[in-house]
Amino acid sequence: MMRFLKEITKDVLAITCYYTGITRLFELVGNRNHGLGLAILAYHRVVDSDDPTASLSLPGIKVSGENFKRQIQWLASKWHVLPLEEAIEQLTENKNLPERACAITFDDGWSDNFTAAYPILKENDVPATIFLATDFLNSNRLHWPEQLIRDLRLLGRESQESFKVEGIALPLTQDFSSEKPEAEQLVQTLLGLPESDRMTVIDRARDEASRLNGTEPLPRTSLSYDEIREMSAAGIRFGSHTVTHRILTQCDEQGLDEELRNSREAVQSLIGTGEVGFAYPNGDFNARVREQTSKTGYAFAVTMIPGVNRPGADPFALRRINIHDGTCTNAFGRFSKCRFACEITGFFDWLFRG
């Protein structure tokens, strides 16, 4: 009930600010004080609840097909949606961006980027850039949060008692899914561990699930090479998101170099272009990672730091606004252009997160 009331309050605020012009005034003041900005929107999956893999991905990386369609239609009518690469060039070289400039990006390279997102982008003539974690392409290999949630669900068929690995209690239920608060808490806990400890937990759960349940085939979850080439030929751009989606701040020098260099080469070989952009996995980077990314030959890099980019922004620390169903729907689960506008202008970030 408290969460519902909080969402209702946010809806009222968004509607009031949108229709009284407060959101627009926020844009104008930002443009006057800091120059015309670029909002880079970060998507991951466009997937509906009836997809067998939807319940494996956390809510913060999913948007439904209908909500994505409404977002793209609204953006195409109200904003200047630019190819990311050209927009960044204009931004960093202090060239004139149009007012209300934005760019669309996707991280990871999920297969639904082709099956669900691409037709909507094409129908509305909207450009986008997809950052690929290259080791997952053309396969049904899952990223570790999805793999872990799936393994815990399989284990829950045999027992509803949790078991501990590295002192972390892993919840076991037959209906364990990404929508449960325990899933988000578990993923965040594991992200805070050293990489070796995190992989110990993940591997143990995988081994136990395989021992008790054998292997259950999954559909291909990542883009195929042919899908990438088809979209590339139609104008969709591609960048790198490492090879295996490792947290780069936890990599040693050799691991960092391999993730950056090998993924860049893989993307170049797929799409036949020399200039490639980069998205830091989970948005995590520091001065060492930033410097190595630049030295490897990337043209730019995007983060998950929320906000709008202004002229003179660091091309290797560009801000992005994460988009999921929660950023564009009201308390009743329906698309809200008022909520969406407050998010992509940076108004809600300024208001709630300072």
Q: Answer whether CATH 3.40.50.620 is correct for domain 38-46+57-139+222-323.
A: no
Instruction: Look up residue 14 and give its two tokens.
Output: 């968004």
**CA nearest 54: which of 154, 181, 189, 150?**
150
163 near 170, Cβ under 8 Å? yes
What was the pLDDT predicted at 168? 79
**Residue linked to tokens 């200039």:** 275
Q: In sequence order, which ranges of 40-180 are alpha helices (DSSP H)?
A: 65-78, 84-92, 112, 118-123, 144-156
Q: Strand 101-108 relative to strand 38-43: parallel, antiparallel, unpaired? A: parallel
pLDDT of residue 154: 84
Query: What's the confidence (pLDDT) of residue 264?
Result: 96
Residue 333 is predicted with a pLDDT of: 86
pLDDT value at residue 162: 67
pLDDT of residue 83: 96
The whole-angstrom distance between residue 26's C-alpha and the CA centroid of its chain comes to 26
- Ranges of the chain whose pLDDT falls below 50: none
How many of the other CB atoms lie within 10 Å of CB of 304?
A: 17
What's the confidence (pLDDT) of residue 6? 83
Q: Quote the pLDDT of residue 285.
A: 97
What is the CA angle 346-348-352, rounded to 5? 125
Provide the sign of the torsion angle of the four alpha carbons 80, 86, 87, 91, taken in this order. negative
Tokens coding 317: 């620390």
List of E strands, 76-186 = 80-81, 101-108, 129-132, 163-165, 168-170
pLDDT score for 214: 61
Side-chain half-sphere CA neighbours of 332 within 13 A = 3
- The reported pTM is 0.94
pLDDT of residue 210: 81
